[in-house]
Amino acid sequence: MKGHVVGWLCRCPPPLTMPFIAATMKRAMAGSAETNILVVEDNEKLLALLRRALEHEGYRVTPAPSGAEMMKQLRLATPDLIVLDVGLPDMDGRDLLASLKKDPQTLSIPVIVWSGREPGSDRRIVLDLGAEDYVEKGPPSVLVPKIERILLRISERELLKARESLPKA
Ligand code: CA
């Protein structure tokens, strides 16, 4: 099957349009254990649920049940995305988000705030602090597609940047 697809591509190469490249990247990323998602959540059940859903999509999940654990994990490796709970046992997720966005080492890591609180003003606060999105706690089937969209948007941005840096013909 693979050989057939490759053969077809060789005979008739598709135009390298952005949607094509983006779709290619999406396919590559969604199934890739290279994409590491740091999930900061102290509720064991929720963490297990989200972890299972993300791993099912092919992502690698690093769990962090506290703010201190999140900081420790960030010193070990840079994740591709962080899912951040607001109500953590040791810190407020909004303060953690603010410190992530102040630090040049971590400011470009996309953060989705996953909160069990009433959205209200929290949503505005975390978006102003630099979160990519604010998602109310619920089934992972809501959060997972948002994660995929954000990762896709970022790879599109990177592709555009790469294209702009190419020497003009
Ligand atoms: Ca919590």
Q: What is the predicted pLDDT for the residue at 169?
A: 65
With helix as H, strand as E and coil as C, how does 101-126 read? Answer: HHCCCCCCCCEEEEECCCCHHHHHHH
Distance 80 CA to ligand 1 centre (A): 22
Distance 57 CA to ligand 1 centre (A): 24
Distance 22 CA to ligand 1 centre (A): 34
Q: What is the predicted pLDDT for the residue at 10?
A: 46
Distance 42 CA to ligand 1 centre (A): 5
As a whole number of angstroms, the distance between CA 55 and CA 37 comes to 10
Longest dimension (CA), the chain: 59
Distance 14 CA to ligand 1 centre (A): 47
Strand blocks (E) in 34-147 = 36-40, 60-64, 81-85, 111-115, 133-136
Domains of the chain and CATH, by start: 31-164 (3.40.50.2300)
Work out whether strand 60-64 and strand 111-115 pair parallel, antiparallel, or are unpaired. unpaired
Distance 20 CA to ligand 1 centre (A): 39
As a whole number of angstroms, the distance between CA 30 and CA 51 comes to 14
Contact 62, 52 (CB under 8 A): no
Q: What is the predicted pLDDT for the residue at 26?
A: 59
| Mean per-residue pLDDT pooled into runs of 10, the chain (169 residues) | 45 61 60 84 95 94 97 96 95 95 95 82 89 92 92 85 79
CB atoms within 5 A of ion ligand 1 belong to 42, 85, 87
This prediction has a pTM of 0.79
